[in-house]
Amino acid sequence: MAHIHLQDGTLPFAWAAFWWALALLLLAVCLVRLRRRPLEPGPVTLAAFCTATVFALSQVEIPILGGVHLSLMPLSGILLGPLLGSVVALVANIFSAAVGHGGWSVIGANILVNATEIGTAWAVFRATAGRQGSVFMRGAGATFLALLAGTLVMIGIVSVSGIQGVTEGAGAVASGLVVIGAINLGVGAVEAIVTGYLLAYLARVRPDILGERPIARLE
């Protein structure tokens, strides 16, 4: 997943506060809408499971190009929807900051990045329901597009905010962000395949979770 791995004090305070304010506004909207409908035990349990999985995977670095990791954040969006999925993003980012995986000041920015991934994955997966194409292809495509959108938002946030204490010019910073984005997309392709297989399996054994009709075999 796209994640801003910057420590506190790296982003200018005004911009960090701005992204926090936007994230809190988004979360407030999600919570208000969630309160308007009763939550069944099933989605709440699934949300807890997704939170634990996202947090655990984000702490397991693959030693490639300085360290990368999967997250399954788009999968959380597909399973839970954008409202409950955004709450998962909040809790997972708080846990990550608590263990030093990114600063507290960038949680707001990271929530916006993750909410983009969650909302995009959910929207694309639902929009392709009933069309030709397997659950695997729908899930993989939705995940890759979601991670692409999240990467673009991450690059945009860092570019607009600026990084304190950086002596390189704007061109060097932009080049670095492009490299990070390319690495994220490479990892995103792997995560898309993993998510596609997980969704195909769920469509076979628990289609009710996805809102799909039962199928006879793994697509």
Q: Is residue 217 part of a domain?
A: no
Digit-coded pLDDT (tens) for 98-125: 988 878 999 999 999 999 999 999 999 9
Q: Is residue 3 part of a domain?
A: no
Q: Do 115 and 76 touch, CB atoms closer than 8 A?
A: no
> The CATH number of the domain where 54 resides is what?
1.10.1760.20
For residue 186, what pLDDT band results from cuts at 50, 70 and 90? confident
Q: Is residue 127 part of a domain?
A: yes
Q: What is the model's pLDDT at position 158?
A: 87
- Percent of the chain residues past pLDDT 70, beyond the cut: 86
Q: Measure the CA–CA gap between 53 and 218, rounded to whole angstroms.
A: 23
Query: Which residue is associated with the tokens 């929009």?
Result: 127
Q: Is residue 6 part of a domain?
A: no
* pLDDT higher than 80, residue 213: no
Q: Is residue 126 part of a domain?
A: yes
Which of residues 62 and 94 earns the better pLDDT score?
A: 94
**How far are the Cα atoms of 16, 107, 157, 189 from residue 160, in angstroms, in the given order?**
11, 16, 5, 27
Q: What is the model's pLDDT at position 37?
A: 80
* pLDDT higher than 60, residue 141: yes
Which of residues 167 and 198 earns the better pLDDT score?
A: 198
Q: Is residue 215 part of a domain?
A: no
Q: Is residue 144 part of a domain?
A: yes
Domain count, the chain: 1
Q: Is residue 190 part of a domain?
A: yes
pTM: 0.86
Residue 183 CB-half CA count within 13 A: 18
Domain assignment of residue 143, given as a range: 13-210
For residue 215, what pLDDT band results from cuts at 50, 70 and 90? very low
Q: Measure the CA–CA gap between 90 and 71, rounded to whole angstroms.
A: 14
Closest listed residue to residue 212, CA positions, set 126, 84, 123:
126
* In the chain, alpha helices (H): 13-35, 41-58, 73-98, 107-127, 135-161, 170-205, 207-210
Digit-coded pLDDT (tens) for 143-159: 999 999 998 998 899 88
Where does residue 55 rank: exposed (0-12), middle (13-18), buried (19+ CB within 10 A)?
buried
Q: Measure the CA–CA gap between 123 and 162, rounded to whole angstroms.
A: 31
Q: How far is CA 17 from the centre of its chain?
A: 21
